Structure 1
Amino acid sequence: MGKNKKVVLAGLILAFAIATGSYSLASAYRGDYTQKGPNYSPERHALMQKAFETNDYNLWKSQMDGRGATRVINESNFSKFAQAHRLMLAGNYAEVNKIRTELGLGNGNGAGSGGRGAHCLYNN
């Protein structure tokens, strides 16, 4: 095999590895609210917890930057969303999934009008 073919082949293998790795990282948390998303930080998580504990829609929304569940969750249904979060923390995943479906957040694998699901229901 010529030198040029080896370089091209190595480049293709590297590009494939990068693409596969990027997809795996992006897909690892999508729809699985037990996984931390790429926007996770301890500070942001604490703010999100506070928003859910106090039903503070505006605090939650300020941390979301227009991503994920903000396409579905609004001030009028945030309390139900916060309830789902509390149920998730208690391990009641069957009820969580019922509320997710009711709110239009899909089935936990990224489907639904809310787009991607994610850690703690709020799409990190």
Structure 2
Amino acid sequence: MAGCCNCRSYQKKTRRPLAGTEWQLIQLGGKAVKPEEGKFTVTLLAEGNRLTGVGACNRLTGAYKTDGKRTLKIGPLAATMMACPGMDEEDAFTKMLESVTHYDMDGPMLLLLSDGELRAVFQARP
């Protein structure tokens, strides 16, 4: 039982706020994603419920809605139109974001879900 208290304490200390934190994608569709500086990140801004981010090379922007019950709806998203390597992954990334219905948090991790199914895992950037 004491171990659980330590886990909860760690999670509380390392938890980051949903809005205002830059989140780095580390898993998409059950597959690990190697974090790369400036790629596959999102930030939910508290002001105006806006989302900003970067895919493989394109900047993303859009709206989001959330409530106190961990629901999360993102989109529609707009993106710049540059072509670069990794466009398939970027397409999967944006489709995943627009399919999100809920989120959960585990310490410094943000888990995005679609109707109860884990779609992506993000890690808070320092």
Check whether TM > 0.5.
no
Larger radius of gyration: 1
| Structure with the largest fraction of strand | 2
Higher relative contact order (CA 8 A, sep 6+): 1
| Structure with the largest fraction of helix | 1
